[in-house]
């Protein structure tokens, strides 16, 4: 089974690229983030032509997540337990589904904006709620392959950014954020996309500005965390860096994991 995650940075702007990538990469399950559309506006009919069912969760212009599957979708859940919301508003940042016997959650962790900002505290509270949801999900079915995939907006280590000195006063690399990731891992999850891969620094995100992608000035913030039944079945994992190239690309690349179940 091939499972992937991809922050498409607007499904409307990236639909043709999505369809082309689905046809070329042939994932069985794809978790999407940053749809920037309402649930009912997701182009489910167009991906259905390629054999994929869709479970989407979007509230309009911002956020939005989805799971696409050609091995079935059941037990869909939109939102995490204890979601704190931001400024009393709901945000579409997580969706869970069971696909071909594997439980997946597509997550789009809040950016945080900058340390000290209210959005940064929201990010930390949101990660606490995600941890609680993971404990419930994995505790209820410990033998079922389970993974939480998506744009975490956190680089796990200094090696996961192109120059840590450029991030001294920034989010994505602070101790509280990384501690939240460690707590998530301590619930029985493993980062299943190891370094090194094909590239010494398998980044997943490159800013559109200042030639960041050609210069490989990126960050590894799109992650796949799986429980033991999931991690133990991984036969291959890679960042599809080629999909970041060319006109109309997202600023994120897909992350792909193959499982031998």
Binding residue positions for Mg(2+): 7, 34, 151, 153, 251-252
Residue 225's DSSP bridge partners are: 148, 191
E strands along the chain, which residues? 2-7, 29-33, 53-57, 65-69, 74-78, 94-99, 102-108, 146-151, 190-191, 205-206, 218-219, 222-226, 234-239, 255-259
Q: Choose the catalytic residue: 108, 122, 203, 225.
A: 108
Whether the CA torsion 60, 61, 63, 67 is positive or negative: it is positive
Residue 65's nearest CA partner among 136, 150, 152 is: 150
**222 is annotated as an active-site residue:** no
Residue 249's nearest CA partner among 209, 214, 208, 216 is: 208
Binding site, by residue number, is: 7, 34, 151, 153, 251-252
**108 is annotated as an active-site residue:** yes
| DSSP codes of every residue in 115-169 | TTSHHHHHHHHHHHHHHHHHHHHHHH-TTS-EEEEEE-S--SSGGGBS-GGGGTT
Q: Choose the catalytic residue: 28, 151, 160, 222.
A: 151
Q: Choose the catalytic residue: 160, 172, 222, 252.
A: 252
- The helices-and-strands tally (H runs, E runs) of the chain is 5, 14
CA distance 99 to 67: 9
CA distance 153 to 110: 7
**Virtual torsion, Cα 149, 54, 72, 108, nearest 10 deg:** 10
**252 is annotated as an active-site residue:** yes
Token pair belonging to 126: 């949101």
Name the residues annotated as catalytic: 108, 151, 252
């Amino acid at each position: 089974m091939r499972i992937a995650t991809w922050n498409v940075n607007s499904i409307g702007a990236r639909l043709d690229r999505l369809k082309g990538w689905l046809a070329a990469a042939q994932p069985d399950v794809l978790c999407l983030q940053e749809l920037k559309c309402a649930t009912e506006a997701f182009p489910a009919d167009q991906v259905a032509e390629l054999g994929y069912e869709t479970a989407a969760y979007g509230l309009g212009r911002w956020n939005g997540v989805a799971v696409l599957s050609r091995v079935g979708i059941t037990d869909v859940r939109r939102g995490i337990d204890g979601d704190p919301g931001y400024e009393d508003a709901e945000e579409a940042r997580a969706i869970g589904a069971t696909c071909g016997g594997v439980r997946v959650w597509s997550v789009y962790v809040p950016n945080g904006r900058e340390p000290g900002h209210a959005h940064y505290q929201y990010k930390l509270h949101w990660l606490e709620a995600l941890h609680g949801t993971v404990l419930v999900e994995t505790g209820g079915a410990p033998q079922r392959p389970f993974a939480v995939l998506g744009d975490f907006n956190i680089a796990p280590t200094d090696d996961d950014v192109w120059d840590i000195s450029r991030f001294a006063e920034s989010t994505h690399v602070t101790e509280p954020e990384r501690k939240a990731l460690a707590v998530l891992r301590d619930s029985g999850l493993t980062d299943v996309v190891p370094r090194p891969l094909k590239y010494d620094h398998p980044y997943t995100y490159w800013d559109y500005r200042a030639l960041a992608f050609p210069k490989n000035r990126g960050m590894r913030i799109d992650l796949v965390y799986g429980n033991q039944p999931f991690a133990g079945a991984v036969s291959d994992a890679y960042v599809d860096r080629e999909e970041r190239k060319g006109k109309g690309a997202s600023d994120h690349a897909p992350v792909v994991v193959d499982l031998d179940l």
